[in-house]
Structure 1
Amino acid sequence: MRKLGDTGRQLAPISIALSRQRGYGAHVSVALSLDADRFLLFTASPHGSRAVLGLRPGAGCSFPPLNEETTMAITLKQYWKNRDVEYANELTPTIMANAKETVRRANLFLKRYHDATGATAPDGVNSGWRPPSVNAATKNAAKNSPHLTAQAVDLSDDVEAIDRWIASPEGLQALVDCDLYAEAPKATPRWAHLQTRAIASGKRVFNP
């Protein structure tokens, strides 16, 4: 067994599994087994690359709180789209807190999505916080949109993969577990709308 320098700590044997898919959206995945419970998954595609620490089913381990540094999916920087700088005079402590919570819950949801579907494409944000002037200029945006208060995010979903999963029993349960609400897929072509603000009807998937 190998040892780490002078620390005396032993390294678990590392196994590597390599997979490759061809065609549109081709990607390469490399999984490194760290121990009986944990593994590192590295993926690379024409759209970018990322590394994720994963747990095998039943593994007893907790992740650190999601924040901009530990996020496995979207970041606050993606969410703000520089509007926190351009519209700094309209940014309030409540909006900032809402944005962090929206990103946190969205990432919990996206982790469930990636784990369930095996999707490896990097996640993106089509729309995050919208100051009033931005919301007014956004086509079909509701006047009282939760984007105004940073309680919603539109995830990039060009091929409607996230929307399809939202409509599945597993996706609906993920909405409940992450305390999120989603607009009906027919209303969100090329994106998936998630929000933390509750709907009066209580429905997790609703028509805007």
Structure 2
Amino acid sequence: MITIEQYVGKWSENEDWTEVRQAYAAQLLIQVNKLLEAAKKAGIELKNNPNTDSLISGTQYGGFRPQSCPIGAAGSSHKQGQAVDIFDPQNKLDGWINDAILTQYGLYREHPDATIRWCHLSTRAPKSGRRTFLP
């Protein structure tokens, strides 16, 4: 499962890692970890990303992103502590997840067509309100 330390990575001393964002991240990880546990029980093999030595995708921006990060808008879910990209090299997690599962865990995701080899999960609803959305 994903720890808060893994989620924040090297940004733990960054001024953007505020108490509010830490609280958002803590809630996000509770919900995401419950979903990941259910996925494991359903037979989905979760693999650690060799770049992060965790379930977080990418090299450094799959979890929390400071405001100075060149990826994403200032108000992006990652920059607010409300989104995480899960390493999913064979898209098995994305293939297992559906809107009913997302509703059960209070999560939203970017459409699998837009997230090849990772799964973007968020506690923040997109403007469309859809559980699975195109960014």
Q: TM-score, normalised by structure 2?
A: 0.85
Q: Are the structure 2 counterparts of residues 202 and 121 from structure 1 closer, same or farther at C-alpha, using a change threshold of 3 Å?
A: same
Where does 1:1-208 land on structure 2 (aligned, <5 Å)? 73-85=1-13, 87=14, 89-119=15-45, 121-122=47-48, 124-126=55-57, 127-134=62-69, 137-138=70-71, 141-166=72-97, 171-208=98-135
Alpha-carbon distance, 1:163 to partner: 1.2
Task: Kindly tell me the number of residue pairs found equivalent between the two proteins.
Answer: 126
The root-mean-square deviation of aligned C-alpha atoms, in Å, is 1.6
Q: 5+ unaligned residues in a row in structure 1: which ranges?
A: 1-72
Highest CA radius of gyration, 1 or 2? 1
Q: Is the alpha carbon distance of 1:90 and 1:202 closer, same or farther for their aligned partners in structure 2, counting shifts above 3 Å?
A: closer
CA contact 1:153–1:195 (8 Å) conserved in 2? yes
Divergent runs of 4+, >4 A: none
Are the equivalent residues in 1 in contact too, given 2:46–2:88 (CA < 8 A)?
A: no
Q: Which has the higher contact order (CA 8 A, sep 6+)?
A: 2
Separation in structure 1 between the aligned mates of residue 26 and residue 76 of structure 2, nearest angstrom:
18
Alpha carbons of 1:161 and 1:93: their partners in 2 closer, same or farther (altered >3 Å)?
same
Partner Cα distance (2:44, 2:63) in 1: 25
User: Is there any run of 5+ residues in structure 2 with no aligned partner, and where?
Assistant: 49-53
Identity %: 35
Shift of 1:120: 5.2
Query: Aligned partners of 1:185, 1:118: CA distance in 2, in Å?
Result: 16
Separation of aligned partners in 1, 2:94 and 2:107: 14
Higher strand fraction: Structure 1 or Structure 2? 1
Aligned partners of 1:120, 1:148: CA distance in 2, in Å? 25
- Taking structure 1 as the reference length, the TM-score comes to 0.57
